[in-house]
Amino acid sequence: MNTAATQTLAPMPASAPARGKRRDDPKLELWIAWWVTIAFYNIFTIAFFILSRTQPPPKAWWHLPRIVQWFDDNHFGILFGFAMMFLIVGFSIAANALIAQSMRRMSVSPMFAYSYLIIYSLAGVPGMLLTCIALTVGAMRPDRDPKLLSLLYDMGFLSFSGTMGIFLIGSLVWGIAIVLDNNRVLPKWFGYMNLSNALTEVVVAPCVIFKAGPLAWDGSIAYYINMVIFGIYTGAFIMLLRNMIMREDFGSGVLPVLEKPPRR
């Protein structure tokens, strides 16, 4: 746990029974959600970038023999990496719950928090699990007809962009809530940045049309430039949520600014 950070908090009501200090930290539930988010993204990175080698994605224009070879080369990585994703997919909800909580803390209608939570609750199904299922089924029988392997390959990589609407509308919901909020829960510039993230989901759409070039699923625009924006966005919101938890005062007014930790 982030003890260094929690020590800088404003003093909390000391009425809670003294039975193990950490368990009585009233922010523990928020920190758990934050750390689960960190753990999820790390395991996601290991499974997709290192084990299965599905990120960065292989080429959309490959022909049958090359696709079969790709399944062969990554047989164990796909099966093991995606088994890990099957196991932990539900923990992706922690980030969405924390983001919904940020909106409950804002001076906006609770509808924003609930819309966001519902929009994102099944984001993992079209955006990740279908990819994992298709590629797992492909990898588990290497002797399958190459034409069927190629079908599963296309299904896998096209499904990976299947969350277009979820991220588009979800980012707009969060962004609008931040811009309208008067409690200064999250900075306005991050609200506007949600617009940039929403647009990446428009940019990715042509990957269902082009089999090669910058707009294909492995293309410089549809994949690499988008990934940079998504990376900046994800890094920003993880740090901002951490900041938000540190500032949390369990009130309903303006969220206080973080006090600088005293230097010793």
Asked whether position 51 contacts another protein by CB under 8 A, the answer is no
Q: How far is the CB of 92 from another protein (least distance, A)?
A: 8
Candidate ranges 53-61, 65-73, 74-82, 157-165; the one touching another protein (CB under 8 A)? 74-82
Asked whether position 185 contacts another protein by CB under 8 A, the answer is no
Candidate ranges 46-54, 59-67, 157-165, 182-190; the one touching another protein (CB under 8 A)? 182-190
Asked whether position 206 contacts another protein by CB under 8 A, the answer is yes
Asked whether position 94 contacts another protein by CB under 8 A, the answer is yes
Rounded CA-CA distance 77/103 in Å is 38
- Copy the structure tokens of residue 243: 């900041």
Report the residue number, 47 or 58, with the smaller CB distance to another protein.
47
- Copy the structure tokens of residue 14: 């000391």
- Copy the structure tokens of residue 97: 């719950």
CB atoms within 10 A of CB 145: 11
32 by DSSP, 3-state: which? helix
Asked whether position 227 contacts another protein by CB under 8 A, the answer is no
Near another protein in 146-175, by CB under 8 A:
148, 152
Task: List the one residue from 145, 165, 227, 252 that touches another protein (CB under 8 A).
Answer: 145
Candidate ranges 1-9, 46-54, 121-129, 158-166; the one touching another protein (CB under 8 A)? 121-129
Nearest-CA neighbor of 27 among 89, 101, 92? 101
Nearest-CA neighbor of 126 among 170, 94, 172, 63? 170
Four-CA torsion 195, 199, 201, 204, nearest 10 degrees? -160
